[in-house]
Chains A and B, each alone.
Chain A
Amino acid sequence: MDRRTAIQNLALVIGGAVLLPRCSKSNPSAHFKHFDITFDQQTLITDIAEVIIPKTNTPGATDLNLYGFVMKMVDECTKKKDQEAFLKGMAEFEDVPKKMFSKPFAECNKKEKEDVLKSFEKKDNSYSKELQAFYQTVKGLTVFGYTESKYFMTKEIVYELVPGRYNAWYPVKNGKAVAKNG
């Protein structure tokens, strides 16, 4: 078995663990190396990722298990103090939909969910540092996970492992390449 297969298998295992929460909603349901989160929090992050990268006629965040990637990166590639800010911000997050629409994020419709997230995109928002850190982390990692997913890198902007060429003068017209792989 090559390393590629091994990593894919590992991803399946991780994905599986995420999809099968073991505990009731008030108890920790996903155990990571550095923290636990609840079933509701898993749903929240999954939902936020799906609002950022929704399923259209192409796969969205849930299809690509970007939740799993976001959490793996928060768990394994993030400094402790940033993890703490992430968890604190996550705990504050539900205040935003409650204030805007008087209901939890999960009960918001698609448009309302987008409005909640778009409120973070405004430069003059008054959210706490931790809350912003939580949102920016989820967004950054969702986008990172999406643009580095196999789907994106084989179907959207095709990544070439072996380009075999360097064309230093590649003609562009109206912002677009004149020829495909000229």
Chain B
Amino acid sequence: MANLNIDSAKERTFDAIVIGSGMSGGWAAKELTGKGLKTLMLERGRDVKHLKDYPTTNMYPWEFEHRGEVPMDIQEANPVVNRCYAFKEDAMHFFVKDNEHPYVQTKPFDWIRGYQVGGKSLLWARQTQRWSDFDFEGPARDGFAVDWPIRYKDIAPWYSYVEKFAGISGNKDGLDVLPDGEFLPGFPLNAVETYFSKHVKEKYKNRHVISARCAHLSTPNQIHLDQGRAQCQRRTLCQRGCPFGGYFSANASTIPWALKSGNLTLRPFSVVQSIIYDEQKGEAKGVRVIDTNTKETIDYYARIIFVNAAALNTNLILLNSTSHRFPNGLGNDSSVLGKYVAFHNYSAHISAEVEGFEEWATDGRNPAGGGYIPRFRNVFKQETNFLRGYACGLGAYRGYKHSHEDVGQDFKAGLSSKEYGPWYVGSHMMGETIPKESNFVALDSSRKDAWGVPLLKISVEYDDNDMKMQKDYVEQLTEMFTSAGFKNIKAETDRRAPGLDIHEMGGARMGLDPKTSVLNNWNQMHACKNVFVTDGASMTSTSCQNPSLTYMALTARAADYAISEMKKGNI
């Protein structure tokens, strides 16, 4: 650094730095640049430009060399990412390969990552549900983790704010467990899903089957057209990147918006080594980056720093940001940094055959995927032998009837038959897990990656509560399916490692008390006021909603607060 002069330092000084360019980083950049802050966005991977860098987006199935399958040598070299449902020939270029960025699994953990501009926002399942106070009050009521420092009323306006811009399709269902939002028209339930919804409503007091809410432009508004996005064309090939911008991704939405402001500098190929702490001023002064092309170490400076590197990498950066003031990681006075990591329990699913409904099928494709059953266990009071509960995905489908037996002319003709077969119905569980001190990430004491950053050591596992919940899901859904008259019901549980849900959260949790949490009610570090963490790392508990919408809302809220604090001269 010695030969860098003052002018160079000036060029490397911004109002704000955002570490990470995915779901929450994109929002931070959009909000900060929108309020006039010169912002540097750092991304460790390559750039992925909307439209231009979606090489498979318009390919037909027969144009894929292996018709979508991943070649065996790639599968065998990447056992972790290969377990992800979306790691297929059409999207595998958006996933981190196992050997590219190793980590240490003290216990099995499938860490699924997307190192590129846009991160995993290109690849997400696009399900978007608000939290309610039944979720925010969970830890306090049930006595785990620490109390959330916010309640629904604090975040509700910010949910509205991000929903309007991102574009969320859904119905106003009027449920207290799952607050309504600012919705574009919802995608309808089909005949069997509708039947099941009605059946469940009649039979169970507090169970609901609703249309899944998702980040798709069912019918775009002007604000979406202004982003250069168009109506969702019901392709359901989203993981390739959407040529219409039909679903929300940072690439299609927040990043181009931020770039349009003229205030964003986007720097891909920039691995963040640490956040630099100014011992005199008692605040962070910048970020130390390694350029992955030149291997050069470069410092960037800013008044505020948003850490949005994705939950576990955010923990890694903070743990690796040591100073005289913070010998155990930035903002880690409480010693909880890296601890109380949790995830979502996706370890069970169920399927069945459905008799009847022969007069209906579906046509085209449903981007929402079908229905959603909000959490119904332990909502109003503790009622089972496990804490918290689970939401369920729900989908019914009917395809053409094709026999797989026989050979020859009739068999061949049968493959072209457009006669419909029976309906099938399926569901999968999405369970809350309880954050615990014993589920943690830490820096490996000896091994380092290619950039000299210690490897992340992950020690996270299921517990007895998760297994009880899995059992309950199977029992309850079996009962609900049986009661609905579904046949040949098959429930399956698996022993998947945590992580495959791709909903890892926590480690730098929010809380009221600086002694037991890293961040305050504004996602601001208790002990280092110009650093904000607004990705999954900030989550005090996980509830069972898909988390991205909450990260977006927390980010927009924190950015607004950060700017008001800057104006007041507090940071």
| B407 at interface, CB cutoff 8 A | yes
Question: What is the CA–CA distance of A143 and B412 in the complex, to the nearest angstrom?
Answer: 9
* Stretch of B98-106, B359-367, B475-483 with 4 or more beta carbons under 8 angstroms from chain A: B359-367
A7-B63, A77-B72, A169-B191 are contacts. A175–B363 as well, Cβ < 8 Å?
no
Q: Which of A153, A162, A170 contacts B362 (CB 8 A)?
A: A170
Question: What is the CA–CA distance of A11 and B66 in the complex, to the nearest angstrom?
Answer: 11
How does the 8 Å CB contact mask read for B442-484 relative to A, with 1 for contact and 0 for none? Answer: 0000000000000000000000000000000000000000000
Tell me the chain B residues, 63-77 only, with Cβ under 8 Å from chain A: 63-67, 69-73, 76
Q: Report which residue of A11, A79, A172, A173 has the largest number of chain B beta carbons within 10 angstroms of its beta carbon.
A: A172
Interface size on A, residues (CB 8 A): 56
How does the 8 Å CB contact mask read for B413-426 relative to A, with 1 for contact and 0 for none? Answer: 10110111000000
A73 touches B66 (CB 8 A): yes
B67 touches A121 (CB 8 A): no
A172 touches B415 (CB 8 A): no
Q: How near does chain B come to A102, taking the closest CB pair, in angstroms? A: 22
A177 touches B363 (CB 8 A): yes
Q: Which of B55, B60, B401, B419 contacts A161 (CB 8 A)?
A: B60
Chain B contacts of A157 at CB under 8 A?
400, 416, 418
Interface size on B, residues (CB 8 A): 54
How does the 8 Å CB contact mask read for B349-369 relative to A, with 1 for contact and 0 for none? Answer: 000000000111111111100
B361 touches A147 (CB 8 A): no
| A99 at interface, CB cutoff 8 A | no
Q: How near does chain A come to B520, taking the closest CB pair, in angstroms? A: 43
A150 touches B62 (CB 8 A): yes
A182 touches B363 (CB 8 A): yes
A53 touches B412 (CB 8 A): yes
Tell me the chain A residues, 90-134 only, with Cβ under 8 Å from chain B: 114, 117-118, 121
A161 touches B187 (CB 8 A): no
Chain A contacts of B58 at CB under 8 A?
161
Q: How near does chain B come to A86, taking the closest CB pair, in angstroms? A: 13
B364 touches A165 (CB 8 A): yes
Tell me the chain A residues, 54-83 only, with Cβ under 8 Å from chain B: 54, 56, 60, 69, 72-73, 76-79
| A168 at interface, CB cutoff 8 A | yes
B235 touches A147 (CB 8 A): no
CB-nearest residue of chain B relative to A155?
B416
A172 touches B364 (CB 8 A): no
B361 touches A163 (CB 8 A): no
| A39 at interface, CB cutoff 8 A | no
A51 touches B408 (CB 8 A): yes
A3 touches B59 (CB 8 A): yes
Q: Which residues of B contact A (CB under 8 A)?
A: 55-56, 58-67, 69-73, 76, 187-191, 193, 233-235, 237, 358-367, 400-401, 404-409, 411-413, 415-416, 418-420
Known: A72-B66, A166-B365, A175-B401. 14 other contacts (CB 8 A): A52-B412, A53-B412, A56-B412, A77-B66, A121-B406, A156-B416, A157-B400, A162-B233, A164-B233, A164-B364, A165-B364, A166-B363, A168-B190, A175-B419
